[in-house]
Chains A and B, each alone.
Chain A
Amino acid sequence: MSGAPREWRGRAIVRGRASGPALPSRTAFSFLGDADIRSGAVVGEMSDLRGQSVTGKVLIVPATRGSAGAWRFLYQLKQHNTHPVAIVTDDLPDPSVVQGAILSEVPIVSGMAKQLAAEVAAGAMLEVDGDEGTVRLL
């Protein structure tokens, strides 16, 4: 992939750094209902990730779907050790998702999900830097 950008710059939302394989999606994600707490498997019928696991992944989604309870489910994924290690979005995520991510120490960068989903393959190793607002291909 010579010539492809190896670093993308977006907006830092939740601090911290984490790396893992890319899990790109083109559908909005709801933490209340789309992921099974116990397994990390995506079970939501509206998600194109249905059947895959968010555990240990860099979850790349255009947006989060609204629910005031999202923070609790993201925190439950963390408690069950089934959480994504980082989240990348296009739109600003819901305040509840941001609260859950701060509580769970899951970095979030926004403003680049579509570009990233187009330019990296599923499973490519990424490092997300929630302090700088960058994603790097490892």
Chain B
Amino acid sequence: MELSDHDRALLDGRDGPVPRQAMEALIQLGEAFDAPDMVDIGYAHVHAGMAMYLGDVELMEDLAGKGAQMRVPVSTNIANADMGNWQDTHAPEGLARLQQRAEQAHKAMGSANCFTCTPYWAGHWPTWNMHIASIESGVTIFANSVLGAKSNRDGFFAVYAGITGRYPRFGLHLDSKRKATHRAVVEAKPEGTTDFTALGYAIGAEVTNGIPWIGGLAARPDLDELDALGVGMATSGGVAMFILPGVTPPYTEDSEAAPENLPSLTIRDADVRRIYDEFCTGAAEDFDIVHLGCPHASFEEMKHYAALLDGRKVRDGIELWVTTNRHVRQMAADAGLLGPILAAGAKVIADTCPISCHFARTCSPDPTLGVVPPQLRTIVVDSAKQARYVRDMIHCPTLLTSTERAVESAVSGRFVPRF
């Protein structure tokens, strides 16, 4: 692998032990995947250090304790507790305190602490042709497909990219790999973000690790819908990029169609409906939590929730959770949007979400934290991504419906299905 003078200097320890460790690890990764050299990274969305995972916050403290500094703009991924208000989710204080240690470690390293799966709504907006690294698959697909930045589906090593400003050139960092592998013809007529998560989920299940060329949508989806479409695909499959002409740089609306010989799939309304059916496993009058904000809500979505909840009241015995990041929450507060949401009895939670908090049964945190996942009956969700991981991580039934119907469900105490 060809190394630059900068790479070699880090490897020789010029900038201390952590950049050396990071560069060694990145070289090993690059050699495993035949990367010819490294690219300059313009931005990294990195691991928070997660209190629900044993020894995981300590991973970040170790880096910070050795003096690591982020070389490029870095944002932090979703965490396991709302660090400012863990009481709202009934999280054990010990878990929240441990999570706050990750916040301090990142602060010391110069990360922008947004603790979210949607850092773009917090202002992290990489642009066309910028190589980035991201631990969150939803960020990866939004960056590749909507913003035109270049990112693999990454893991812990996004932190190393942030520390070194470099990443091995393989996968979607190579233009030759950013080509459609499938043609997806959308005959379905999605309405609202939940439908777009389900549409994406249906496409991802067929395409698995491929890159779908998407045709047939009647109108350009708005930013929230594009976000929803991507996370759906990234959840059911390993999709890291879609091509939607007119949206995905550099494809214009009149781009030539995808090559003729690609495997083709057609997604009809029935296919979207089947995703709702798959994730309606709970009883219609027996749910404890209604969740909005997967992925973490944008400011526009906060406006929508505020309008839906204005003058309404969440039924006794039901919790309505709105999850977003701390910066959007502040923007919503400044815009007077939190008033109607909170007055309705809903909770606005930052830094985490149901599948990322102490509800998860697939984690094994330090036993001294006293984490006991609660017995939940059913969670009503408005995202196919949340539904999938409620099933797989919380091991609890779900009821998937549109945002508007989820709010009606929370107010009436009876589930309002999409179909």
A14 to B29, CA, bound (A): 8
The answer to whether B25 and A76 touch across the interface, beta carbons within 8 angstroms, is no
Chain B's nearest CB lies how many Å from the CB of A101? 9
Question: A100 at the A/B interface (Cβ < 8 Å)?
Answer: yes
Within 8 A of A (CB), among B29-69: 29, 32-33, 50, 53-56, 59
Question: A103 at the A/B interface (Cβ < 8 Å)?
Answer: yes
Question: B152 at the A/B interface (Cβ < 8 Å)?
Answer: yes
Within 8 A of A (CB), among B265-316: none
The answer to whether A98 and B54 touch across the interface, beta carbons within 8 angstroms, is no
A22 to B315, CA, bound (A): 57
The answer to whether A14 and B32 touch across the interface, beta carbons within 8 angstroms, is yes
The answer to whether B156 and A68 touch across the interface, beta carbons within 8 angstroms, is no
Q: Which residues of B contact A72 (CB under 8 A)?
A: 50, 53, 56, 155-156
Q: Which residues of B contact A80 (CB under 8 A)?
A: 54, 364
The answer to whether A38 and B137 touch across the interface, beta carbons within 8 angstroms, is no
Name A95's contact: one of B25, B33, B55, B56 (CB within 8 Å): B33
Query: Which interface class (under 10, 10 to 19, 20 to 34, 35 or more) fits B?
Result: 20 to 34
The answer to whether A99 and B156 touch across the interface, beta carbons within 8 angstroms, is yes
Within 8 A of A (CB), among B371-411: 392
* Most chain B CB inside 10 Å of its own CB: which residue of A33, A37, A66, A96: A96
* Most chain A CB inside 10 Å of its own CB: which residue of B54, B153, B154, B155: B155
Question: B192 at the A/B interface (Cβ < 8 Å)?
Answer: no
A95 to B154, CA, bound (A): 7
Within 8 A of B (CB), among A18-35: 33
Q: Which residues of A contact B137 (CB under 8 A)?
A: 68
Query: Which interface class (under 10, 10 to 19, 20 to 34, 35 or more) fits A?
Result: 20 to 34
Q: Mark A103-127, 1 if CB is under 8 A from B, else 0.
A: 1000000000000000000000000
Question: A60 at the A/B interface (Cβ < 8 Å)?
Answer: no
Residue in chain B with minimal CB distance to A103: B156
Residue in chain A with minimal CB distance to B54: A79
The answer to whether B156 and A71 touch across the interface, beta carbons within 8 angstroms, is yes
Q: Mark A48-81, 1 if CB is under 8 A from B, else 0.
A: 0000000000000000001111111001100110
The answer to whether B238 and A66 touch across the interface, beta carbons within 8 angstroms, is yes
The answer to whether A102 and B155 touch across the interface, beta carbons within 8 angstroms, is no
Q: Which residues of A contact B152 (CB under 8 A)?
A: 95
Q: Which residues of A contact B25 (CB under 8 A)?
A: 99, 102-103
Q: Which residues of A contact B208 (CB under 8 A)?
A: 66
Contact A98/B32 with A66-B238, A79-B55 known, Cβ cut-off 8 Å: yes
Task: Add 7 more A-B contacts to A72-B53, A99-B156 (CB < 8 A).
Answer: A33-B392, A37-B362, A37-B364, A68-B137, A68-B155, A75-B53, A100-B156
* Interface residues in chain B, defined as those with a beta carbon under 8 Å from any beta carbon in chain A: 25, 28-29, 32-33, 50, 53-56, 59, 135, 137, 152-157, 170-171, 208-209, 238, 362-364, 392
24 A-B contact pairs sorted by A residue (CB < 8 Å)? A14-B28, A33-B362, A66-B208, A66-B209, A68-B137, A68-B155, A68-B238, A69-B155, A72-B155, A72-B156, A75-B56, A76-B53, A76-B54, A79-B54, A79-B56, A80-B364, A95-B154, A95-B155, A95-B171, A98-B29, A98-B33, A100-B156, A102-B29, A103-B25
